[in-house]
Amino acid sequence: MSGPNTSFDPKQVAVLSAEAITAMVATARAAVVAAADLAQLKEVRLAHLGDRSPLALANRDIGALPPAAKAEVGKRVGEARAAVKAALDSRQIELEQARDEFVLAEECVDVTLPAARSPLGARHPLTTVMERICDIFVAMGYDIAEGPEVEAEWVNFDALNVPPDHPARTMQDTFYVTSSESGVVLRTQTSPIQIRAMLDRQLPIYVVAPGRVYRTDELDATHTPVFHQVEGLAVDEGLTMGDLKGTLDHFAQEMFGPGIVTRLRPSYFPFTEPSAELDVQCFVCLGVSVDNPDVPCRTCGSEGWIEWGGCGMVNPRVLQAVGIDSSKYRGFAFGMGIERTLMFRNGVTDMRDMVEGDVRFSLAFGLES
Ligand code: DAH
């Protein structure tokens, strides 16, 4: 058994004194407290508990102590390291909590905030007016009829008793597909749907037909080369102009208000005989503005009536062209422009607003026009 090692140099191991160790712990604790985030704390852990930290070096020096001193100093250094580790660990927990709270606050979604709304758009008033017209006639027992926009010249003109030398057939009004000899046109009116309805359907016939039509007009405030019409056709036994007038009055009341009536003025259309221009009573002034300069009316120009379309009794020649017995059946028909209807009904002054497709124009009409 060897005696106690008394040959160590007390100066060399001064680093192991209680004061020195306590100071190391204090320095480490101060650094731990000063660590503001987890990254800094990691550096502090390395500096005060890592292999090259003062306490690790002190631990290594224990080996140089006399055996009698080893236990005491070993305990001191061990406790010191444990204390530093405890400080680091508790600071670690604190900083992790702080980080979690920060992340939660940063990334939190407030589900009660109003969502960004995507714009809904709006249906075009031409569409809603055409639907309204269809509803009015469906309620009277009419069917909706359709026809192609690229139409046979025979259907668009000849069958409707529009002779080949009629001005409406010249290149000025009609878009011909390929050439004027092609026999195929972009329909210039919805009246050819009358012909198709009479060729396709069983008698009696009650149809209403909204649709797009084409004419070689320049786009300006009152013209557009593409516009819309609605056509009405009834073919039955014993129909009279009284039936036509009653139907149009009902139509006018549904469109413009109770009590509004229509007026027929003699006119000419090849496909009707007799033919009439169809006027509707001014639904704004009810005629009060006529000869009354004190209360001028912008809607009817103080005329009391507004031109709305054309109508008449179907020309027997048209019935014959589609093989209907004109001695037994009679028909009435009418047609009007949808753009024109919107202009005076809703005060649209420029036709171009209707074709440009700016949603702000449509939005102003709301859901029902
Ligand atoms: N198709 C005619 C036009 O475009 C309008 C018209 C007039 C239609 C009289 C009809 C009618 O059905 O009977 O000018």
Joined tokens for residue 152: 């046979």
256 CB less than 6 Å from ligand 1?
A: no
Least confident range of 36-50, 106-120, 185-199, 326-340: 106-120
Distance 334 CA to ligand 1 centre (A): 6
The model's pLDDT over 23-39, given as tens digits with 9 standing for 90+, comes to 999 999 999 999 999 99
* pLDDT for res 7: 56
% residues pLDDT > 70 (the chain): 95
Reduced to 3 states, what is the DSSP secondary structure of residue 314?
strand
234, 332 contact by CB (below 8 A): yes
Q: Among 47-51, 244-248, 262-266, where is mean pLDDT lowest?
A: 47-51
pLDDT of residue 117: 83
In order, the DSSP letters of 12-80 are: TTGGGSHHHHHHHHHHHHHHHHH--SHHHHHHHHHHHHSTTSHHHHHHHHGGGS-HHHHHHHHHHHHHH
Q: Can you tell me the mean pLDDT for 57-74?
A: 85
Q: What is the pLDDT of residue 285?
A: 95
The Cβ of residue 267 has, within 10 Å, a number of other Cβ atoms equal to: 14
Confidence of residue 69 (pLDDT cuts 50, 70, 90): confident
Cβ of residue 365 lying under 6 Å from some atom of ligand 1: no
The full DSSP string for 165-177 is: T-GGGSTTT--BS
- For the chain, give every domain's residue range: 14-106, 125-363
pLDDT, one tens digit per residue, over 270-309 is: 999 999 999 999 999 999 999 999 999 999 999 999 999 9
State whether the beta carbon of 369 lies less than 6 angstroms from ligand 1: no
Count CB-CB contacts under 10 A for residue 98.
13
Q: Is the CB of 331 under 6 A from ligand 1?
A: no
Pocket test for ligand 1, best of 156, 311, 317, 336 (most atoms within 8 A of CB): 311
pLDDT single digits (tens) 40-54:
999 999 999 999 999
Q: What's the farthest any 2 CA atoms get from each other in the chain?
A: 148
Type of residue at 239: L
Q: Which of 191, 227, 273, 341 to mutate to test the pocket of ligand 1 (most atoms within 8 A of CB)?
A: 191
What dotted CATH number matches 125-363? 3.30.930.10
Question: Is the pLDDT confidence value at 9 over 60?
Answer: no
Mean pLDDT across 130-147: 98
**Contact (CB, 8 A) for 18 and 77:** no
